[in-house]
A and B are shown apart, each in its own frame.
Chain A
Amino acid sequence: DADVTQTPRNRITKTGKRIMLECSQTKGHDRMYWYRQDPGLGLRLIYYSFDVKDINKGEISDGYSVSRQAQAKFSLSLESAIPNQTALYFCATSGGRGANTGELFFGEGSRLTVL
């Protein structure tokens, strides 16, 4: 089983619908991140969390919200999806003794299409 698990892996939805992408991890890491990936733009940080009570906006947080339900769970919500939120979304973790913030472990990705 993957250490960082994302659900759903693929989702097609319509404009205006609420969508939640979920991420769970078994690595025991404190830090969790949501990135989106678009062709030609690379990975852009949406939100990050260093523990259950710590949530921070990234580069492109508008239109998104997150919830850190437990150390191992970090979900991303699109309250009212729009077509330009069509992208590949990755959850990532970092942490562990002596680990650098930049040493990230990624989930398998969630491909979201908004029609």
Chain B
Amino acid sequence: QKEVEQNSGPLSVPEGAIASLNCTYSDRGSQSFFWYRQYSGKSPELIMSIYSNGDQEDGRFTAQLNKASQYVSLLIRDSQPSDSATYLCAGVNTGGFKTIFGAGTRLFVKA
């Protein structure tokens, strides 16, 4: 079992809809979680960080963390074609030394 699991997709949503991306993790000691966006042929870029249970909002993006369920999600409101990318979920392991990534979910936003 991978330490960070994501559905590979692709997830397709119409422009203006809410895109919901999900991630589960196995390391119960993980305290910090991140969402990275990676456009095709480009490097990953950090878009959201979340450290405590609940929601963390930044513009159209909301990250959600539920440590009891070991579940992290990313909501993208008012999805735009420019949001089409692969979204990588990541967590820092117990001890805080390593960042482990999921395989990523491909998102397509249709105009």
Contact = CB atoms under 8 A, between A and B. Distances in A.
A and B: real partners?
Answer: yes
A102 B104 contact: no
A103 B43 contact: no
Contact of B97 (A44, A90, A101, A106): A101
A58 interface: yes
A10 to B, nearest CB: 12
Bin the interface of chain A by size.
Answer: 20 to 34
A102 B44 contact: no
A44 B98 CA distance: 10
B74 interface: no
B3 to A, nearest CB: 9
Contacts of A102: 32-34, 49, 90-92, 99
Interface in B40-95: 42-46, 49, 51, 88, 90-92
Nearest to B44: A106
Nearest to A45: B98
Contact of A40 (B34, B43, B101, B103): B103
Bin the interface of chain B by size.
Answer: 20 to 34
25 contacts: A40-B8, A40-B103, A42-B103, A42-B104, A43-B44, A43-B90, A44-B101, A48-B98, A50-B97, A59-B100, A90-B43, A100-B32, A100-B92, A101-B96, A101-B97, A102-B90, A103-B49, A104-B34, A104-B36, A104-B44, A104-B46, A106-B43, A106-B45, A108-B42, A109-B43
Given A43-B90, A90-B44, A105-B46, 20 more contacts: A35-B101, A40-B8, A42-B6, A42-B88, A42-B103, A42-B104, A43-B88, A45-B98, A45-B100, A56-B97, A90-B43, A100-B49, A101-B99, A102-B49, A102-B90, A102-B91, A102-B92, A102-B99, A104-B34, A106-B45
Interface of B: 6, 8, 32-34, 36, 42-46, 49, 51, 88, 90-92, 96-104
Interface of A: 33, 35, 40-45, 48, 50, 56, 58-59, 90, 94, 100-109
